[in-house]
Structure 1
């Protein structure tokens, strides 16, 4: 499994947590950062999936 898949998933989870904390604290900036982390993580995960597909791995 490509390293980008793992790192992307971790970044997505971190972003979800950051967004939730931001909502709880009514911190709009933290919520935006969390959503940005999630988007970045999803892109990174998809990049890893594409690399694995090119190598013939799942």
Structure 2
């Protein structure tokens, strides 16, 4: 998904991230604003996911937006 699209739909994406990964703080989520790699890294670190699992999680969220 194009970075412009991610940034444009950030509010909706942010809500989905909060639902799926409650262990992430609002500040952490906001820090990743529109940056897919940063978001994947946060999910990987805080949720204990592998790189592939984090990528799949982000793909899944973006498919629903």
TM-score relative to the length of structure 1: 0.33
Q: Which has the higher helix share?
A: 1
1 or 2 for the larger relative contact order (CA 8 Å, sep ≥6)?
1
